[in-house]
Amino acid sequence: MRTPRSVRPVRLLAGVLLAASLALAGCSGANDAGGGSAKSAAGAKAQQPGAAGSKADDARSARKAPRLTPSAIIRTASLTVEVKDAAKALEEARTTAESAGGYVGSESTSRDSDGHERTRVVLRVPTAKYDEVLAGLQGTGKLVERTAKAVDVTDQVVDVDSRIASQRASVNRIRALMDRATKLSDVVTLEGELSSREADLESLLAQQASLKDRTSLATITLSLSEKPVHKAAGHDTPGFVDALSGGWHVFVTMLLWVALALGAILPFAALAVLLALLWLRVVRPRLPRRTEPAPGSPGEPGRD
């Protein structure tokens, strides 16, 4: 079948229009894809500063967050224990402290007139072993008296640490100024200022060391006595035996003082007796005797 000539131009025009519309659609899709990619990239770039900002905020928050400081407590205790053998109990106390990682700070021993020994020892032990060491020391004999004390110095430790950091920064600034100083007068002034600030820093460091020593090691003062120790006068009512013992003690003390007095005057008494014998036996017999006049002698007055 043959197509009329008038229909061919129409079909040709329709084909051209369809090709043009397809080309326009392809260009629009490409532009949309390209625009979307660009927008996505821009969005990603816009988000990156935000991420960096959030990291900076986190770091800033971490710097501002306060650090928790552990409690710093100074612990001290005093024990008075009555024991049968002070030397043996002292050795046990020394072993207990050294086994806990501590040491003996000081020690003194004395003995009374009755031969009873009394020892006073200062022990330094780690605070973690404080309660354990106390329990061990109490078991060495009869506990007579115990006192314990705990002082919280956390604020003082924090204050000293902060002042040390500030003082170190101040010292570093003075040293930096000295490195840049060109005039001799400036150098002399800065040297004086540096010496003063370094002395303050050393004082703070000494305080820090002292606080660290007293908070890391507890101090226990232990008194060991072989003689019965009473807590305080008036706590117990004295009985007959106590009165008898006290009276006997007073009597013995009086005899002792009398003996001392006699011993003090005995040399003088012996000398006095010797002088009296010398007078009676040697000196007096050699003295001229007085002759008494006979009755009725011319020199005697007459009787009535």
- Spell out the per-residue pLDDT of the chain, length 304, in tens: 444 444 455 455 555 555 555 555 454 444 444 444 444 444 444 444 443 444 444 444 444 444 555 789 999 999 999 998 888 999 999 999 999 999 999 999 888 877 788 999 999 999 999 999 999 898 888 999 999 999 999 999 999 999 999 999 999 999 999 999 899 999 999 999 999 999 999 999 999 999 999 999 999 999 999 876 554 444 455 566 667 767 777 878 888 888 888 888 888 888 888 888 887 777 777 777 666 555 555 555 544 4
Q: Residue 138: how many CB atoms within 10 A of its CB? A: 14
The residues, any chain, with a CB within 8 Å of residue 120's CB and separated by 6 or more, are 107, 108, 109, 221, 222, 223, 224
161 within a domain of the structure (yes/no): yes
Residue 122 pairs with which residues in a beta bridge?
106, 221
295 within a domain of the structure (yes/no): no
Quote the pLDDT of residue 249. 75
The answer to whether the beta carbons of residues 219 and 75 sit under 8 Å apart is yes
User: Which alpha helices (DSSP H) does 65-183 contain, by range?
Assistant: 86-99, 130-138, 154-180
203 within a domain of the structure (yes/no): yes
Question: 150-172: buried (b, 16+ CB within 10 Å) or exposed (e) per residue?
Answer: eeebeeebeebeebbeebeebbe
Quote the pLDDT of residue 171. 95
Residue with tokens 């020593």: 213
**Residue 86 Rama label (left phi>0; alpha psi -120 to 50; beta):** alpha
Helix (H) or strand (E) holding 12: helix 7-64
181 within a domain of the structure (yes/no): yes
What total number of domains does the chain contain?
1
162 within a domain of the structure (yes/no): yes
Domain that holds residue 159: 155-213
Residue 11 backbone phi and psi in degrees, to 5: -65, -40
The answer to whether the beta carbons of residues 223 and 77 sit under 8 Å apart is no
202 within a domain of the structure (yes/no): yes
101 within a domain of the structure (yes/no): no
Maximum CA extent, the chain: 231
229 within a domain of the structure (yes/no): no
Residue 49 backbone phi and psi in degrees, to 5: -60, -35
What pTM value is reported for the model?
A: 0.51
Collapsing DSSP to helix, strand or coil, 107 comes out as strand
